[in-house]
Structure 1
Amino acid sequence: MNAEQRAVFQGIVYYYRENQVLCRYQATLKEAVDPALLQQALDAARPLAEYYFCHVVWEKREARLEPNTAPCRVRQGSTQPKIPEETNDYLFSLGYEGNTVYLDWFHFLADGRGGAPFFTLLLKLYCNLRSNAGFVCEALASDPPYDVEQLLARYPESQVANDMQKDVLQIHEGTPHFQRLRLDRQSLVDLAQKEGVKPFSALMGLTCQAAQRYLEKNDLVYSYAADTRAALGVPHALYNCIASFQLSLQLEPQARLHSFAKRLDHEIRESLTPECRLFRMAEQMGWVYQVFRQKAALKIKKRVFQMGEYISGFPADFWVSYIGSPLLPHSPELEAYLTDFQTWVLPDGASLAMEVTSLHGVLTCCIENKVDKPGYLEALRDVMEQEGIRVLEAVHIS
C-alpha cells in the first residue's frame, strides 16, 4: 500500500458502514454570528488547513483525496446537510444560526480529535475578525498516515478468524431521539476520588447503572473510544486514529457504584495501555484492510464488510466518547468567547451513544438514543443524583 492509498485507508471504514456517520461540533458565542465574517474566516482557513479542503475522487475501485477548488460556502440554519451531496463535494460544512456556529463533517475525514483543531482554528479566525481577539492562527500540519501493514505484521495474533458460532448482541435500531444532560464536573471528580477510580471510569459506571435500569438487563456490553495517536507515533494526525473498545459488565440488580467501580476501573485502565491500544487498532483495522484489498466494487465491499463486522460481535448496548476540552490546542483565552459547546455523533453499532465535552466546569453529555421506549434520560438523572452528582440540566431535545 503506497502513501496515497494509506491516506484514504485511515477513514475508509466509514464508506463501508450501512449508514453514513456525520459528526457535529457546535459552539455558542456571546454575540450573534456575523455570516460575512464567518465566511471570511472560512476562506482564510483554506491555506492553513489544506487537509480539510479536499474531496474524494473515485476511479474505478480506487479512491484518493484531492484539493477541492469549488466554492466553500457558509450555510445558514442548524439543519445538518447531506455531505458531500449538499456541500459542493466538501467533506465538511460550516453553518450558523443565531449565536451558534456548527461544524459538520463526514467521519471519513476525521474523528473528534481530528475535527477539533480545524474548528478551533475557524473560531480563532472568526473571533479575530469579529472582536479583534489577536489569536495567532498557524497552519495545521498532519503526521503522515501510519503504516497499517506494519501494524498488522506486529500483531498477527490480532487477525484470528471470526467465530461463526458467536452470539451477536442485538441492538435497537429505532428513530434516534436527542437528549442532553449537563453535570457539575467537580462533583464527578469528587465521586471518582471517593471510589478511588478515574473520573472517566466513574462516568462509565454511572452510565452502566442507568443502562441496566433502562434496558432491564444485568449483563451489559459497553463501548468507548480511545485516541491511539501517541501509541501509533502520529501525535499530530488529523485523520481517524480512534480505537473502539468493547467490554462486558455483569451487575447485581439495582447495583450501586461502590460495588463494581474498582472492577470496572481496572478493566478500563488495562485496555488503555499503549500496547493494548495498538493491539486493538490492529484487531479492528485488520478486517477493514482485508476488505480494502479486495478487487471489487464499493457496494460489494460494503456487503462483505458489514457481514464480517456483524459476525465479529462489534455491536454494544451503548458507547461513550469523552472528549474533554473540545478546543485543540487547549485555549482558555478562546473559551472566554464561548458560552456553550456540544458535540453529536449518531450511534454507530450501539443502541445508545453519548458524547461528553467539558467547558467552564460543566460536563455536557449529548445523547442519541435508538431505543423505542421512554425513560433513559430520567434513569441517567436519577442514577447521577443518587450517587451524589449535581445535575444541572436534563432535557429532551427531539
Structure 2
Amino acid sequence: MYFFRREKVQCRYQFSLRDAVDLTLLQRALTTALASAPYYTQRLVQEKREMWLEPNTEPCLVYHGSTMRNIPEQTNGYLFCVSCEGDTIYFDWHHFLLDGHGVSPLFTSILEQYCNLRYGTAFAVQQIVCDPPYDMDAMLAEHPPVEGGSDAIQRDVVQTYEGTLRRTRVCLSKQSLVEKALANNAKPVSALMGLLCMAMREYLGKEKIQYSYSSDTRDVAGVPNALYNCVCSFEHTVQLQAQTRLADFISDVDADIKRDLQPQSKRRRMTEQMGWVYKVNQQKAPLRIKQRVFQMGEYIGGTISDFWLSYLGNPLMPATPELAQYTTDFGVWVPPDGASVGVEAASLNGKIILCIHNKAPHPGLADILRKTFENEGVTVLEAADLD
C-alpha cells in the first residue's frame, strides 16, 4: 500500500535519554541489535512490472543530526534510519516496510544495547523474527468483494485541508484520562476520541466531525509476530454543538469502537482495504500504471476524515520497565495521510503523549486542546504548538 501511495510516508520515533548520546556507542548498539533481526536488513528492488525485497549487504550507519534523511536514497538502501543529536535518538522508517508495532522491537533492542554500553545494564540480545505473510486469498474467500461497486463509492467525501504542515504536542496524565473513561463506563481510547472530536469541532469550525482510527490486525490475521504493516482503519461521524459535553455522546463513540474491534469486524475491514491493494498488485502492468490505478481507487477502502487517531500505546516492545527508566521523553510523528489533522498517541512513564500533524490553516490548536481536556477534568501536563 505504502509503495503505491503518491507521497512517500516516512515516520519518526524520538527518544530523549538522561545524557548526551554517544554516536559511536549507538553505532555499536545498532550493529548488535540488527545482527539478530534479519527482517530489517532489506532493500527494495524495482523493475518495470515488479518490486521485491532482498538482503541489503551495505553497512547500516548511524547519522548525526535531527534532520530526517530521505529513505532509502540517503540511508544506504535501508528502509529505516537511526540518528542522534544532543540527548535524543531519532528512529525514522519508511511505512512501506513497517508500521508502528513492527518497528518497535528493533528500536527497543537498539535502546537496550545502547544502555548496556552507556549505563552498564545487562539487557539480553533478543532474536526478532517475523511471521510469514498472512493468507490474503483465504481472507478474500471469507469476505469476497462486492461485485459492481461499493457503498463507499456513493458516500460524501470529507474535504480535507492541504496547507502547510504544522506540529502540536500535548501530554496528558494517563490516570486522569482513565478515571474520566471509567466514570463514563467507556474505554480510555473512546474518551480520548470523544475529547478530540469536541476540540476539532471548535478548531475546524464545523459541527459534523468525521474521524477515523487504525487498529492492529495481527491477531485476526493469524500473524502475531508480523513486523510488516498489519492494520485496518475505521471511520465514524459525530454531530456536536458548542454546549455538547463528553457525557452526552461518549457512549455512542464507545459502542462504535467496541463493535469495530470485534475479530470478524476487523478481519472484514482488513480484507476490504488490503484486497484492493492485492488486486492492483496482481495486474500485469508497469508499476507506474499500478500506482495510478491504486490512486484512482484508494477511496473505495480509504478513510478520508477531518482527523485520525492512531493509538500506539507503549512504544517499547517488549514493554520493559527497566528500560523506561533511562528515557526522559518520547515523540512519534507520522504525516496526516488522508485527513486534515493526524494524531499519534503513545503511553510512556504515566503520560499520554499526543503528537499532532496539522494541515489546517487555523491557529491555536494547542490552546483549544488544553481547554477541551481541562474542562472535562483531564489533566494537561503540556500543550504547545511547536511550529
Superposition TM-score, scaled by structure 2 size: 0.97
2:204–2:362 CA contact under 8 A, matched in 1: no
In structure 2, what is the Cα distance between the partners aligned to 1:252 and 1:182? 26
In structure 2, what is the Cα distance between the partners aligned to 1:338 and 1:46? 21
Deviations 1:336-373 (A, max 9, x none): 11111111100010110111111111111100000011
More displaced stretch, 295-304 vs 224-233: 295-304
Alignment of structure 1 residues 60-99 onto 2, 5 Å: 60-99=48-87
Name 2:262's counterpart in structure 1: 273
In structure 2, what is the Cα distance between the partners aligned to 1:55 and 1:160? 38
In structure 2, what is the Cα distance between the partners aligned to 1:202 and 1:322? 12
Deviations 1:173-226 (A, max 9, x none): 111101100111111011001111000000000000001111111211101110
Name 2:235's counterpart in structure 1: 246
Name 2:159's counterpart in structure 1: 170
1:46 and 2:3 correspond: no
In structure 2, what is the Cα distance between the partners aligned to 1:107 and 1:146? 18
Name 2:298's counterpart in structure 1: 309
Alignment of structure 1 residues 374-393 onto 2, 5 Å: 374-393=363-382
Query: Deviating runs (4+, > 6 A) in structure 1?
Result: none
Amino acid of the residue matched to residue 349 of structure 2? H
In structure 2, what is the Cα distance between the partners aligned to 1:337 and 1:158? 51
Cα offset, 1:250, TM superposition: 2.0
In structure 2, what is the Cα distance between the partners aligned to 1:238 and 1:360? 25
In structure 1, what is the Cα distance between the partners aligned to 2:318 and 2:44? 27
In structure 2, what is the Cα distance between the partners aligned to 1:130 and 1:205? 42
Alignment of structure 1 residues 1-398 onto 2, 5 Å: 13-157=1-145, 161-163=149-151, 164-310=153-299, 314-398=303-387
In structure 2, what is the Cα distance between the partners aligned to 1:90 and 1:254? 51
Q: Percent identity?
A: 51
In structure 2, what is the Cα distance between the partners aligned to 1:146 and 1:313? 21
SS in 2 for 1:353: strand
Please report the RMSD computed on the Cα atoms of aligned residues, expressed in angstroms: 1.3
Amino acid of the residue matched to residue 140 of structure 2? L
CA 1:151–1:373: 2 relative to 1, 3 Å: same
1:159–1:286 CA contact under 8 A, matched in 2: no
CA 1:165–1:261: 2 relative to 1, 3 Å: closer
Amino acid of the residue matched to residue 213 of structure 2? Y
Deviations 1:269-314 (A, max 9, x none): 0000111110010011111112111122222222211111235563
- Structure 2: segments with no counterpart, 5+ residues: none
Cα offset, 1:26, TM superposition: 0.8
SS in 2 for 1:365: strand
Superposition TM-score, scaled by structure 1 size: 0.94
In structure 1, what is the Cα distance between the partners aligned to 2:101 and 2:302? 26
In structure 1, what is the Cα distance between the partners aligned to 2:45 and 2:156? 39
In structure 1, what is the Cα distance between the partners aligned to 2:128 and 2:310? 24
1:213–1:254 CA contact under 8 A, matched in 2: no
CA 1:159–1:338: 2 relative to 1, 3 Å: farther
- Structure 1: segments with no counterpart, 5+ residues: 1-12
Deviations 1:83-128 (A, max 9, x none): 0111111100000011111110000111000011111011011111
In structure 2, what is the Cα distance between the partners aligned to 1:336 and 1:312? 41
2:234–2:303 CA contact under 8 A, matched in 1: no
